Amino acid sequence: MPTTPTQGHVVVAPDKFKGTLEGAEVAARIAAGIRRAAPGAEVRELPVADGGEGTLAAALAAGFTRVTVKVAGPTGLPVDAALAVKGDTAVVELAQASGLARLPGGRTAPLAAGSFGVGQLIAKAVSLGVERVVLGLGGSACTDGGAGMVQALGVGLYDADGAELAPGGASLRRLERLDLGSLADGLTGVEIVVACDVDNPLLGPRGAAAVYGPQKGADAEDLVILEEGLTRWADTVHAVTGQDYRNNPGAGAAGGVGFAALALLGATMRPGIELLLELLGFDEAVRGARLVVTGEGCLDAQTLHGKAPAGVAAAATRAGVRVAAVAGRLELSESEWRTAGFAAAVALTDLAEQPGESMTRAGELAEVAGERLASELLAG
């Protein structure tokens, strides 16, 4: 039976359900369920992201303008990518240009994939006159230490014969000379902020190659080659700049793009969800709200360590607003999700009648979840 909501609106702020629904689709479906159960409720949809894939979509849903650019994909073939602009801020999502989803035919290229297209997106943003570029890392297909990114911004990388290095992490082993050119001049007055939720260094057993290389198709021999290339890259950057960022938390993010952003672009790093909530105006959206509903594909132990739903829960709690979660799967115990600040949690797997329906009927079940939460939390 439909409930009658008391004063205060509802904010629906989920991340994407990876492999099934984008964040905006999740928000729309949950909101539809809430409106069905509580017809008088004011529901505001604000899909979020934690800095990885989905960051661009969240910015666009929050009112940023899409700017489409043809850039080099991870293997050099041209792709149509996009960035988002609003006022003096641009949002660049690495996966748009150099993500695994951009690999031709889905074939990995662990040694040759590069980040040149990311630099092209940043260059486009700067050409539009923005004063801040938010760079979301995640879903990277490359392990080139961000070398391709800075090459696109005018940096020269040369081998012993004076030839420009080819794209990819493997070629970094031949690096002999680094020419920063006019990089600093081109970024004058532009703040680069990296949205990042990993703390991996560039090198070693927790580094870019060792931890993330296998996800990008690297075998044991490839990992040795990539580690050698990244080491050469870090040594050369240190020699030229006098600064060593290889051990900084987040330097290993996105195949080492985090390292180049820190060492050569003068970037600062911030927790992804914290930065995105600020960018999307979450504090303003939640002011006066009665309930916030967030979620992601799987609510598990990783969620509690900086993922979007945990960030939303923390921000909502600070604002004195109850928060609930919808997830494809729920792998936390009730005591765990309650301790994390959730007043309620609904899993699509618990609503499905048959195994697999939480994926094939995700949208429909998300509506049912929204309806259930409204009946439980908006009554009275």
pLDDT of 2 strictly over 60 = no
Confidence of residue 1 (pLDDT cuts 50, 70, 90): very low
Average pLDDT over residues 100-116: 96
Assign 3-class secondary structure to 170-229: HHHHHCCEEECCCHHHHCCCCEEEEECCCCCCCCCCCCHHHHHHHHHCCCHHHHHHHHHH
What is the tens place of the pLDDT at every residue in 254-310? Answer: 999 999 999 999 999 999 999 999 999 999 999 999 999 999 999 999 898 889 999
pLDDT of residue 7: 74
What is the tens place of the pLDDT at every residue in 312-354? Answer: 999 999 999 999 999 999 999 999 999 999 999 999 999 999 9
pLDDT of residue 5: 45
pLDDT of residue 4: 45
Average pLDDT over residues 59-83: 97
What is the tens place of the pLDDT at every residue in 46-61? Answer: 999 988 889 999 999 9
What is the tens place of the pLDDT at every residue in 231-244? Answer: 999 999 999 999 99
CA gap 357, 338 in Å, rounded? 26
The structure tokens listed for 210 are 């060792």
CA gap 118, 30 in Å, rounded? 33
Average pLDDT over residues 68-83: 98
What DSSP string describes 56-72? HHHHHHTTPEEEEEEEE
Q: b/e per residue, 317-353, with b = 16+ CB within 10 A?
A: bebebbbbbbbbbbebeeebbeebbbbbbbbbbebbe
Query: Which pTM was predicted?
Result: 0.92
CA gap 362, 343 in Å, rounded? 22
pLDDT of residue 306: 81
pLDDT of 30 strictly over 50 = yes
pLDDT of residue 380: 55
Average pLDDT over residues 125-137: 97
